[in-house]
Amino acid sequence: MIRRGLRAAARLGHHGALPGGPYILPRFSLASAFGSSMDSLVSRFCQEKTDLKNYALPNASWCPDMLNLYHEFLEKTKADGWIRLPSFKSNRNHIQGLKFPLVLTVSSDKSDCHIFTRCIKTEGQGYEYVIFFHPSKKKSVCLFQPGPYLEGPRGFAHGGSLAAMIDETFSKTAYLAGDGLFTLNLNTRFKNLIRMGSLAVLNVGVEKVEDQKLYISCVAQSTDQQTVYAKASGTFLQLQLEEDSSQY
């Protein structure tokens, strides 16, 4: 059953362009089609009607570059097929109606868990970011502004924080584009340091899907594209989530 689902996911990965016109999110439906279509994953992920706090919204700490690009992409969500991804406290909040396979449940799953990139709550201090995803192109753009908690060399972001942001963007893209769940490989080549409080734009794209693995790459650069901060590639294991019948 899982194998069929994975093959279905792989086929969907090669699916051509979605119907033209404004991209409207399908209504969330429990009786979703066999296997998780990208539409279903996206709608469960985004949870249009929710009280959960969405961390991927502008706040006072966002620099002008970040605000400008954010609004540019927000415009593109109206007609060009881009989707602004919300960002909740835990990955559990992004899989409404689904659950992780039994083999993955661990006893140490506490309620005060936070996703790594959203654990520093004070605005502007840690990871400030928002991801825009394009389903048919299987691409993402992440606007990332590192704060003082992420400091490495004085005045610049720690390399590990960029690797983490790349992994997180990879992870969301791989999941929505093709049920990618676990990072198998992350290869990061650092070129230049990111000044704290400035914007880094991460351009991510799925390269191919093969043998239950999803291959993905990223170029992180400055707003004006003059400086490349890092290039990275990743491999993700495809693992389809199960329907959570216990909720209904």
Partner 1 sequence: MLRSCTAALRTLRALRGRREGASPAARDPVLARRWFSTEKVIPKDHALPNPSWSKDLRLLFDQFMKKCEDGSWERLPSYKNSKLVKEQLSQAQLFTRGYEDGLGFEYVIFYNDDEKRTVCLFQGGPYLQGVPGFLHGGAIATMIDAAVGMCAAIPGGIVMTANLNINFKRPIPLCSVVVINSQLDKIEGRKLFLSCTVRSADEKILYSEATGLFIKLDPEKSLI
Tell me which residues touch partner 1 (CB under 8 A): 90-92, 100, 104-106, 108-110, 112-117, 119-120, 149-154, 156, 158-161, 163-168, 171, 181-190, 192-193
Cβ of residue 192: shortest distance to partner 1, in angstroms?
A: 7
Pair 83, 140: CB distance under 8 Å: no
Pair 64, 58: CB distance under 8 Å: no
3-state SS assignment for residue 200: strand
Cβ of residue 119: shortest distance to partner 1, in angstroms?
A: 4
d(CA 3, CA 174): 18
Looking at the Cβ atoms of 28 and 149, the one nearer to partner 1 is 149
* Tokens matching residue 138: 């299987």
Burial tier of 59 (Cβ tally within 10 Å: 0-12, 13-18, 19+): exposed
Cβ of residue 26: shortest distance to partner 1, in angstroms?
A: 25
Looking at the Cβ atoms of 74 and 228, the one nearer to partner 1 is 228
Q: Closest by alpha carbon to 216, among 177, 189, 164?
A: 177
Looking at the Cβ atoms of 23 and 221, the one nearer to partner 1 is 221
CA neighbours closer than 13 Å in the CB half-sphere of residue 214 = 33
Catalytic-labelled residue, pool 167, 179, 211, 224: 167
Looking at the Cβ atoms of 74 and 152, the one nearer to partner 1 is 152
Looking at the Cβ atoms of 81 and 178, the one nearer to partner 1 is 178
Cβ of residue 74: shortest distance to partner 1, in angstroms?
A: 26
The position carrying tokens 């990139």 is: 117
Q: Compute CA distances 162 → 2, 63, 145, 157, 214, whole Å.
A: 34, 18, 10, 7, 21
Active site annotation includes 244: no
Cβ of residue 117: shortest distance to partner 1, in angstroms?
A: 7
Burial tier of 77 (Cβ tally within 10 Å: 0-12, 13-18, 19+): middle
Pair 73, 82: CB distance under 8 Å: yes
Catalytically active residues, by annotation = 167
